[in-house]
């Protein structure tokens, strides 16, 4: 790792100056991020939205700044370079401000953000090498940059451990009173500021950035690849071929987990190809050249097996976001294998570049997989309602229950109920608001089908999103009961005198013990006197010895069974009763 070669204070200071000149925006954002994280540990009392913005935007903005600098520093026009950076940063700032206004990310929003950030990471390695014939410089740059990131992380980690131990020794040896928050501030400075600066200082620049010299194949890497990586990959592939033979012999369709094994084998093959890429240009490496040359061909039958497995899942259970993502990945793998066979493994830049492009196309926008899934499932639900003569929406809970329990409608109702529950749970209530009213409880009929008969819930039935609570009577005047849990993300506001807690009706029932389903934006807001919390939080509540804390709000009653209030932090669980 270059960071450890000729390492001295003078060299590092010179590299630090070069880094500040080369990546000024990224450095400024990282300094702000480190400062904000330190201020958080010292109880500055920031709002939740402000905290999200001040962490998300600097972190992703610094990554974007590095990628843009690497791209635009090769522009011939300085004006074009500056204009590109300003425009893209302004766009990402607007996106970050928009995301800040979202209370809780739905599944499509989370996927879109995650895919965008992942594409930013890939663009840091890819953006400079879009011209034809730059695969060797691309590999050299990617190898050196990954080495820089690893060495920066190692130095930052060692510095963190060393300084934390030093501060701890001062406390032990000299009986000094040291604020515990200092042990958090040190890793923030080392890992958020020092480690990235060290890594950025080692990113190739100038002629080193577009180095066409083929790097010699390391003996250590050769040994790891030949005696560890390749045998493990062959073991996976051989197992899958044996399983494919079993399928042909028994004439049975493959099970779903085959997709994971084939995907792991495909990822392993691509990783092996990248690691050993320089071997394609060396003499006397016939073993590696032959293996990597024909491995894509060996993967094609396994990809076909994966296609059959995915098709079976879609046919049996319908579409979901995850299944469509696996299907698109399967198609992309076909393209990669065919491309490698045609190029004889000489071209590799297009593989991560195509992955980034496809990931963005299927994750962001109206053509994305989450959007397609949403439209398709809603269309199926609407068609089922229309077939039953229902044309006026949204449905009330009584209308929905009558449709689901109608004679001869149970099988269809179970299927549609599962799809609507999936949408409401992962996309949020707004995703089904055109069809269902806010009082509709989904996930009941799809999980309650027994021997072809759907069991409906009466007004007195206890409904919970955890295990059904059968030993607690519903108070008089209340109709439904839910298990709920809460933490700081549910706190709407908090000061020294009052806490305002937002609680929502869980979107799904029947989840396993300890797992709370995703909830929508707060349906009820309960105000709690902090003095009461402090007086009652004596530890007895956690043992179940104290009386529950009862809070009323409109037509809802929240019975808090267990809670912990400490250092402006609140979490716990209880029962929500609805009239």
pLDDT at 166 over 70: yes
Confidence class of residue 519 from pLDDT cuts 50, 70 and 90?
A: very low
pLDDT at 13: 77
Listed in sequence order, the residues at least 6 apart from 247 whose beta carbon sits closer than 8 Å to its beta carbon are 253, 254, 305
What percent of the chain is predicted at pLDDT more than 70?
85
383 and 358 belong to one structural domain: no
3-state secondary structure of 157: helix
292 and 402 belong to one structural domain: no
Domain-located, residue 230: yes
The CA distance from 91 to 576, in Å, is 42
| The most confident of 244-258, 364-378, 527-541, by mean pLDDT | 364-378
The CA distance from 501 to 532, in Å, is 14
Burial degree of 222 (CB within 10 A; 0-12, 13-18, 19+): middle
Question: Domain containing 412: what range?
Answer: 370-454
pLDDT at 461: 31
The CA distance from 435 to 381, in Å, is 8
Average pLDDT over residues 63-78: 93
Q: Choose the final residue of a domain: 364, 397, 417.
A: 364
Least confident piece of the model among 90-94, 220-224, 318-322, 339-343:
220-224
Q: Structurally, how many domains does the chain consist of?
A: 4
The CA distance from 414 to 417, in Å, is 5
Domain-located, residue 532: yes
Higher-confidence residue: 230 or 345?
230
pLDDT at 508 over 60: no
Higher-confidence residue: 572 or 264?
264
pLDDT at 147 over 70: yes
Helical pair 286-317 and 230-250, crossing angle rounded to 10 deg: 40
pLDDT at 445: 76
Average pLDDT over residues 8-18: 76
pLDDT at 491: 81
pLDDT at 509 over 50: no
375 and 359 belong to one structural domain: no
Tens digit of pLDDT for each residue in 395-437?
Answer: 998 899 889 888 677 778 888 988 998 898 888 888 999 999 8
Listed in sequence order, the residues at least 6 apart from 51 whose beta carbon sits closer than 8 Å to its beta carbon are 40
pLDDT at 513: 34
pLDDT at 512 over 90: no
Burial degree of 220 (CB within 10 A; 0-12, 13-18, 19+): exposed
Higher-confidence residue: 344 or 35?
35
Q: pTM above 0.75? A: no
The CA distance from 355 to 285, in Å, is 29
- Candidates 271, 257, 356, 350; CA nearest to 310 is 257
What percent of the chain is predicted at pLDDT more than 90?
40
Rama region for 204: left / alpha / beta (φ>0; ψ in -120 to 50; rest): beta
318 and 378 belong to one structural domain: no
Domain-located, residue 213: no
| Omega prior to 451 cis, within 30 of 0 | no
165 and 119 belong to one structural domain: yes
Strand order in the sheet with 480-486: 480-486, 570-578, 556-565, 549-553
pLDDT at 118 over 80: yes
Domain-located, residue 563: yes
- Candidates 60, 337, 26; CA nearest to 201 is 26
Tens digit of pLDDT for each residue in 349-362?
Answer: 999 999 999 999 99
Domain-located, residue 464: no
Average pLDDT over residues 170-199: 89
pLDDT at 327: 95
pLDDT at 4: 54
Confidence class of residue 79 from pLDDT cuts 50, 70 and 90?
A: very high
Give DSSP secondary structure letters for 371-408.
HHHHHHHHHHHHHHHHHTT--S-SBPHHHHHHHHTSTT
- Residue 127: phi and psi, rounded to 5, are -60, -30
180 and 296 belong to one structural domain: no
Mean pLDDT of the chain: 82
Tens digit of pLDDT for each residue in 192-236?
Answer: 999 999 999 999 988 888 888 887 767 777 788 888 888 989 998
Tens digit of pLDDT for each residue in 436-482?
Answer: 988 887 877 765 443 333 333 333 232 323 333 334 566 777 777 88
pLDDT at 134 over 50: yes
Domain-located, residue 19: yes
69 and 147 belong to one structural domain: yes
Q: Choose the final residue of a domain: 306, 336, 364.
A: 364
Domain-located, residue 541: yes
262 and 284 belong to one structural domain: yes
- Residue 536: phi and psi, rounded to 5, are -90, -20
Confidence class of residue 536 from pLDDT cuts 50, 70 and 90?
A: low
286 and 389 belong to one structural domain: no
State the distance between the two ends of the chain, measured CA to CA, in whole angstroms.
66
3-state secondary structure of 178: coil
Give DSSP secondary structure letters for 190-254.
IIIIIHHHHHHHTS--GGGTT--PPPPPPHHHHHHIIIIIHHHHHHHHHHHHHHHHHHHHHT-PP
449 and 509 belong to one structural domain: no
| The most confident of 286-295, 454-463, 518-527, by mean pLDDT | 286-295
Specify the residue for token string 């085959």.
258
- Residue 13: phi and psi, rounded to 5, are -65, -40
Higher-confidence residue: 279 or 125?
125
The CA distance from 260 to 258, in Å, is 5
347 and 397 belong to one structural domain: no
Q: Choose the final residue of a domain: 336, 364, 392.
A: 364
3-state secondary structure of 366: coil
Domain-located, residue 466: no
157 and 54 belong to one structural domain: yes
Confidence class of residue 257 from pLDDT cuts 50, 70 and 90?
A: confident
């Amino acid at each position: 790792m270059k960071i450890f070669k000729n390492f001295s204070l003078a060299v590092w200071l010179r590299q630090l100056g070069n880094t500040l000149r080369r990546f000024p925006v990224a450095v400024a954002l990282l300094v702000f991020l480190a400062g904000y994280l330190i201020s958080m540990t010292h109880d500055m009392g920031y709002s939740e939205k402000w905290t999200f913005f001040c962490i998300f935007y600097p972190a992703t903005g610094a990554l974007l700044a590095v990628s843009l600098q690497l791209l635009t520093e090769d522009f011939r026009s300085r004006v074009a370079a500056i204009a590109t950076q300003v425009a893209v940063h302004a766009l990402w700032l607007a996106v970050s401000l928009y995301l800040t206004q979202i209370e809780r990310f739905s599944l499509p929003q989370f996927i879109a953000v995650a895919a965008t950030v992942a594409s930013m990471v890939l663009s840091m390695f890819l953006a400079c090498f879009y011209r034809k014939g730059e695969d060797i410089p691309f590999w050299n740059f990617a190898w050196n940059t990954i080495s820089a990131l690893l060495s920066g992380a190692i130095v930052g980690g060692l510095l963190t451990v060393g300084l934390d131990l030093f501060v701890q020794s001062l406390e032990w040896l000299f009986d000094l009173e040291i604020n515990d928050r200092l042990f958090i501030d040190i890793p923030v400075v080392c890992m958020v500021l020092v480690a990235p600066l060290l890594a950025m200082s080692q990113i190739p620049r100038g002629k080193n950035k577009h180095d066409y010299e083929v790097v010699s194949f390391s003996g250590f890497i050769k040994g790891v690849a030949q005696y560890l990586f390749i045998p493990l990959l062959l073991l996976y592939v051989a197992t899958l071929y044996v399983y494919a033979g079993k399928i042909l012999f028994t004439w049975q369709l493959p099970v779903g987990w085959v997709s994971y094994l084939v995907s792991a084998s495909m990822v392993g093959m691509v990783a092996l190809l990248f690691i050993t890429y320089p071997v394609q240009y060396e003499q006397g490496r016939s073993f590696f050249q032959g293996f990597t040359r024909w491995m894509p061909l060996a993967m094609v039958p396994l990809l076909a097996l994966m296609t059959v497995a995915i098709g079976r899942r879609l046919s049996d259970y319908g579409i979901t976001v995850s299944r469509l993502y696996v299907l698109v990945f399967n198609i992309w793998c076909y393209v990669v294998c065919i491309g490698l066979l045609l190029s004889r493994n000489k071209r590799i830049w297009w593989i991560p570049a195509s992955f980034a492009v496809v990931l963005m196309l299927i994750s962001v926008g109206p053509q994305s997989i989450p959007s397609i899934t949403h439209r398709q499932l809603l269309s199926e639900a609407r068609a089922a309602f229309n077939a039953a003569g229902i044309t006026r929406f949204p449905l009330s809970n009584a209308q929905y229950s009558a449709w689901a329990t109608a004679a001869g409608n149970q099988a269809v109702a179970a299927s549609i109920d599962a799809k609507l529950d999936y949408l409401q749970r992962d996309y949020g209530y707004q995703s089904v608001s055109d069809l269902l009213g806010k009082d509709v409880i989904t996930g009941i009929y799809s999980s309650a089908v027994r021997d072809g008969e759907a069991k409906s819930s009466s007004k007195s039935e206890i409904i919970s999103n955890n295990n059904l609570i059968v030993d607690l009577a519903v108070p008089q005047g209340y109709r439904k009961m839910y298990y709920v849990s809460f933490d700081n993300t549910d706190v709407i506001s908090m000061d020294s005198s009052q806490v305002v807690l937002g609680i929502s009706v869980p979107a799904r029932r029947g989840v396993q013990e300890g797992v709370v389903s995703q909830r929508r934006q707060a349906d009820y807001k309960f105000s709690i006197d902090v003095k009461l919390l402090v007086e009652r939080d004596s530890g007895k509540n956690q043992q179940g010895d104290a009386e529950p804390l009862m809070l009323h709000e409109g037509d809802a009653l929240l019975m808090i069974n267990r809670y912990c209030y400490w250092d402006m932090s609140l979490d716990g669980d209880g029962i929500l009763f609805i009239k």
